[in-house]
Amino acid sequence: MASGRVFVVFLLPVILSVLFGSAVMADILDKPDRELNMWPMSYSDGVLSHSSSIEIIGLSKQYSTSEPVEIQIKINDSSFDCGDLYVTIYSAGKSDVITQGGFFEQCFVKGNQILPIGDKFSKAIDIPGNYEIVVDMVSKQLKNISISGTFSVK
């Protein structure tokens, strides 16, 4: 008698929930233009690297050891207004961080401004070699847009 109550109280609701959920999912996925996206924050949804959406302005292919790397960023996607901008320079091929700059609360759509607003990214690298610069913009909705470029220091 007790095993019948355990079945009715604990197992029957689980079985019915799984059956009902499966029926609902099958009905939803059976409709055209529907897809199952279990990871809404996935790499493919959150990261864009189209040159039309973000671009690095002022990056040269070669610098001298006494010349600073000075760049600005232009973003053409208004969904990234008011976010945090990160600029990182890596040693090419080694993934060692050489320098990094963070610029917070960059709101640019109203003035159609170049980033970083009221500041500039300028870093001198005194060790000759090849480097990669990566620019990431993270919106308040936690979307990420990124672009990278390479340069050398002689």
- Alpha carbon distance 62, 154 (integer Å): 7
pLDDT in tens, the chain (154 residues): 567 777 777 888 889 999 988 988 888 777 776 655 555 443 433 444 444 688 899 999 999 988 999 999 888 877 777 888 999 999 977 778 988 999 888 887 765 678 888 788 899 999 999 999 999 988 888 888 889 899 999 9
Residue-level pLDDT at 38: 54
Nearest CA to 73 out of 89, 53, 55, 59 is that of 55
First to last CA, the chain: 85
Cα–Cα separations (whole angstroms), residue 6 to 11, 19, 20: 7, 19, 21
Is-above-0.75 flag for pTM?
A: no
Q: Residue 90: how many CB atoms within 10 A of its CB?
A: 19
Residue-level pLDDT at 115: 83
Residue-level pLDDT at 139: 85
Residue-level pLDDT at 87: 93
The verdict on whether omega for the bond into residue 68 sits within 30 degrees of 0, i.e. cis, is: no
Domain 43-153: which topology?
Answer: Immunoglobulin-like (2.60.40)
